[in-house]
Structure 1
């Protein structure tokens, strides 16, 4: 581990603004985006059951069509989820389509492909679990192949007022009126994802921000949220010794305010993390983090420091000051570590400690001050969903449907292990003391009975 003499600075302006935004966003009882209103997976004011299963503390369970790893979003008593209903290909058709796409034989085993996909937006009543509506957004013939662990509907939608923004990467971006179900506008920004879409959108002010880091092109764009028209585009910095495969990324941006009052759009990608002005796309600072690519975990921010995983390759955890300008590679790194860092799940930052689970199921706790490890504990299984801190406990959901609950602290205290039918790939939502969990087959409302 490298350490650069980190001393935690208190950023009063950033902390106050962030806290105000979080409390205001949560006041209306909503879960508007990936990882909640604050985008960090923390719900301090609520608690949900520590014991649950198919026959325990499940208020309702509703089956969902298609396959999708997007997380549920909630507002005004309605849960919204996106999905992709696939027209399945036979084994022979699958191989034929992949060969036609120029995919190497050695890569075919880890990929999946459909003959066509129907992209849908589904609304579910929060109280009863009944499906209220299903909106057809698009039919895509002959979509690209995706990784077998991915889906064609992995980006999480965003609720902004009466609008809901659904993003499917290269397959389309849609603004939907939540009350009427009408598609107000749609855009299609072609991109070669390589293994399918992943980055979720962000709404900030009048701008809908999309990270477009593909194999063919890497850029960030800001769209007019009302019309869908492009306001700005910002190409990524040049890569060093990168192939198309190691240029792609799937991260979701965050917006922060530093101690100088500068608002920053933080966009993590392959080799570089860059801060932009959200309104204009002008670059504020950039930092080269190495050879990491296919980045999924969403960055976290505290006290003028951003924490991020460098993604695939050999995942590393970096802590970087956000008070710089220009290329800050040699001046603003606080510390780095490469011990047990996730390439897929995001992390939780609580009481100056970072809590995480590696893709292969090893949970750990590290100091936000210097990156030193407090503990690690094997949970077992594989993980893609991000952990959520709810009422002082951290909930980890695995591919095999197990939810392990850990109490944060000096030692790894496992409170409970619960199991649901199906696979957990989507991060959960929390509202009104209820845990909303999406598996590969169903949506659950879990609460004390």
Structure 2
């Protein structure tokens, strides 16, 4: 059996003639062009503050926790008003921070409520040569031509009762834009034609399993990954209550595992033939108690809960930040700051270290180091290895919930109020 990852924006499918250096030049999805949290850059900033090593700083209209994406000389982010009545797209010049384009892409007269820790613009856009795709969950999805800033298509009919606001980011694969709308009623996944916005396939979570659940336990906020197993392309989607592996080209469910209940956020990972998925909250006596990390052999069919789970770990597993795997070790930071290093093949802990603060942003591996941003904007940089090795600590002094982008030796950092280029 040969199992290998299919990068969401791969050479084969999207960038004919694209070289390895292009991946270092662009940052196309949530957690990078390969969606694995690994930056393809040889250098990265190690020291900065509010007043040092800042190439530029520019204020961002509205509020949003979506992460920046970068293609060529453009940086794209989304934002919205605090009350959720206007939704924005913003494009900035990479070199200067100049605002190149700003649109009110959607409006809502009576927006759904969101959780106090969320924003109305949390899903990260995705971008390719010539087009950027933005998603605001139930409030709208759109494609914009990055050459003339014209809207190619937009949809406002893909609805979901998010309950706590949208958070799942869209993914480009071949001719498709894949979006998750998993709310409290009939949660579903849809693949759209990226050129037209028309539906290619739609998969609703099985009613016989989800309808008996209380509505609050049906919702999720994760972003999927796409891998290849035995020459079949699978989309790994850790929904509420259970994880689904879909045939990404048809939407067919190939296998599932069952783990618990509610509010999965952390993105799946793939490494060395194993898929790693987060369960979301496991409830005891109707109280969110802990989160589990699972390692799964993705070569099964049907319900593989009892046959293909290789290990499970549940001690201070994060709900929101996605872990990262470097050289066979998984590094994860709990929402309250405990960093755990696990052996990725066995789930055995290697070391633990407590960081200060709370964490929403996912760690990124760049130029040989791992970057951990807490919510207050403090960043701890460590060297991966068999022990905790702190390299540096820096602070930007503002709220950080987005994932930074590392390209061309620099870091693009989105805070609650500003966008920075740091060198």
TM-score where L is the length of structure 1: 0.87
Match of 1:184 in 2: 152
Instruction: Give 1:166's aligned residue.
Output: 134
Which 4+ runs in 1 deviate beyond 6 A? none
* CA–CA separation in structure 2 for the residues paired with 1:56 and 1:43: 23
Residue 288 (structure 2) pairs with residue 288 (structure 1):
no
Where in structure 2 are the equivalents of 1:217-232 lying within 5 Å?
A: 217-232=186-201
Residue 186 of structure 2 is aligned to residue 211 of structure 1: no
Q: Is the 8 A contact 1:387 1:427 kept in 2?
A: yes
Q: How far 1:12 moved relative to its partner?
A: 5.2
How big is the shift at 1:85? 2.2
Which of 374, 381, 406 lines up with 1:398 in the alignment?
Answer: 374
Q: Which residue matches 1:253?
A: 224
State the distance in 2 between where 1:358 and 1:324 align.
30
Residue 28 of structure 2 corresponds to which residue in structure 1? Answer: 32
189, 210, 227: which one pairs with 1:239?
210
Distance 1:227 1:215 in 2: 28
Task: Note the C-alpha offset of 1:354.
Answer: 0.4
RMSD (Å), alpha carbons: 1.8
Aligned pairs for 1:93-108 (under 5 A) are none
Contact map agreement 2:221 2:265 (CA 8 A) in 1:
yes
Render the CA deviation track for 1:273-304: whole Å, top value 9, x for unaligned.
11111121111111112x23211111000122
Distance in 2 (alpha carbons) for counterparts of 1:20 and 1:321: 24
The answer to which structure has the higher helix fraction is 1
Across the two proteins, how many residue pairs are aligned to each other? 406
What does residue range 132-147 of structure 1 map to in structure 2 within 5 Å?
A: 132-147=100-115
- Contact 2:9 2:172 (C-alpha < 8 Å) held by counterparts: no
TM-score (norm 2): 0.92
Once residues 371 and 232 of structure 2 are traced to their aligned partners in structure 1, the CA distance between those partners, rounded to angstroms, is 33
CA distance in 2, matches of 1:337, 1:134: 44
Q: Which runs of 5+ in 2 are unaligned?
A: 12-17, 283-289
Segments of 5+ residues of structure 1 without an aligned counterpart are 1-10, 87-113
Q: Is the 8 A contact 2:71 2:129 kept in 1?
A: no
How many Å separate the matches in 1 of 2:295 and 2:121? 31
Question: Deviations 1:361-419 (Å, cap 9, x if unpaired)?
Answer: 11110011111111111111111110000111100111111011111111111111111
